[in-house]
Structure 1
Amino acid sequence: MRIAYARVSTDKQELYRQLDALERVGYDKLIQEKFTGTQKKRAGLNNLFNTVRSGDIVIIESISRLGRKTLDILSTVEELKEQGVEVISLKENLDTSTPTGQAMFQMMAVIAQLERDLTVQRVNEGLASAKARGVKLGRPIMDTQKVTDALRLYDSGNYSVKDIIRITGISQGSLYRKIKERESKQFLDKVGKSTKYS
């Protein structure tokens, strides 16, 4: 089955341009939503994952419709491929079922890893420079057990972010940061293994 997915970030934006492009190539089912791409957990994307079956093809007008951040996009494509689902992006002419599409996907993963490594390098250089000048920087060390408890509550799906913050005492920003760090590490480890054995 060919499943089309369209998304805009706000209610004020329209889907017409994406829908026109998707209709030109044809599809069997359409999933659309108006929700920011900065959040990976969204109803339309969840509906997409619940709908697809092995052998299906997901068609999008642009790869950016899957998310705003490179790692989120790569993670979504990788999750779909693990379910036996290929992805076609019209704007980038990307088809993960082809050798060229696979190469483009791997290249995006390499670039994402490079961006992450360069960011870490710049942060470390800045901290070393500040330390040499006697400047004390950085956030207070976070309680490891609090982080573990917060992530466990988040993974259970039974608590809202507000509840988790109240129960553990961890800040909302810290919670989201730890979730992102964990997702990035899991994805990059996964891509690294698939690249190593491909």
Structure 2
Amino acid sequence: MALIGYARVSTVGQSLENQIELLQGYGCNKIFKEKQSGAKSNRKALHEAIEYLREGDKLIVTKIDRLARSVKDLHNVASQLEDRGIGLVFLKEQIDFSTPSGKLMFTMLGAIGEFERDLINERTADGRARANKQGKHMGRPSQPSKNVERALDLFAQRETNGMSLNDIVMLTGVPRSTIYAKVNKGK
């Protein structure tokens, strides 16, 4: 059985030293290191670590958020490792996924995280509905109609006036997306 470490920081300017020391102190034989955002699914060192692991090995990570940013991603990695007979240990949270109590704790943390995300989504939807009911505008403030009309006139006459779309945007302050949306709506 080999203890394989995975250390990750989000930016090049951050240091992996602390994580490496913790992983070495735990007894990791090999450590895969990465300086890349956890939000990206294409993390080369993580994929290499997973490929390197063999049945009976354990993947050791200092904290859950070093391995994954979402509950779904976390469950995917944990399931993939479990299917291959590979253990998963999070040092800070003291969770050893290869034990029954570790699996329970992992599942509870995942469920709590998902519940929290659902509550946030529910409150956000309630707030949006309340604002709509009160007639409040959601999103960016609208452009003044005279600016939009001027931009559309200039856009329609761009062959004769020699103005590019960028020129029109700079002159009127109306975003190109608004101009395109209004032009396409008129078709």
- TM-score normalised according to structure 1 size: 0.60
- Once the two structures are TM-superposed, the CA of residue 23 in structure 1 deviates from its matched residue by 1.4
Could you tell me which residue of structure 1 aligns to residue 12 of structure 2? 11
- Once the two structures are TM-superposed, the CA of residue 41 in structure 1 deviates from its matched residue by 1.8
Give me the CA root mean square deviation. 2.4
One-letter code of the match for 1:79? Q
Rounded to whole Å, the distance in 1 between the matches of 2:94 and 2:67 is: 15
Structure 1 runs not aligned, ≥5 long? 140-198
Q: Which of the two has higher C-alpha Rg?
A: 2
Question: Is contact 2:38-2:68 (8 Å) kept?
Answer: yes
* Secondary structure, aligned partner of 2:98: coil
After TM superposition, list the pairs within 5 Å mapping 1:119-158 onto structure 2. Answer: 119-135=120-136, 137=138
Question: Is contact 1:74-1:105 (8 Å) kept?
Answer: no
Would the alpha carbon gap of residues 14 and 138 (structure 1) be closer, same or farther in structure 2, given more than 3 Å must change?
closer
Cα deviation, 1:57-113, whole Å, max 9, x if unaligned, reads 101122222134454334432332233221111222110111221111011121122
- Once the two structures are TM-superposed, the CA of residue 17 in structure 1 deviates from its matched residue by 1.6
Between the aligned residues of both structures, percent identity stands at 37
Could you tell me which residue of structure 1 aligns to residue 61 of structure 2? 60
How many residue pairs were aligned?
A: 139
Structure 2 residue 15 is matched with structure 1 residue 35: no
Could you tell me which residue of structure 1 aligns to residue 24 of structure 2? 23
Could you tell me which residue of structure 2 aligns to residue 170 of structure 1? none
After TM superposition, list the pairs within 5 Å mapping 1:1-198 onto structure 2. Answer: 1-135=2-136, 137=138
Would the alpha carbon gap of residues 112 and 78 (structure 1) be closer, same or farther in structure 2, given more than 3 Å must change?
farther
* Secondary structure, aligned partner of 1:114: helix
Could you tell me which residue of structure 2 aligns to residue 161 of structure 1? none
One-letter code of the match for 2:116? E
Structure 2 runs not aligned, ≥5 long? 141-187
One-letter code of the match for 1:58? L
Question: Is contact 1:57-1:85 (8 Å) kept?
Answer: yes
Would the alpha carbon gap of residues 121 and 22 (structure 1) be closer, same or farther in structure 2, given more than 3 Å must change?
same
Rounded to whole Å, the distance in 2 between the matches of 1:78 and 1:105 is: 12
Would the alpha carbon gap of residues 79 and 125 (structure 1) be closer, same or farther in structure 2, given more than 3 Å must change?
same
One-letter code of the match for 2:94? N
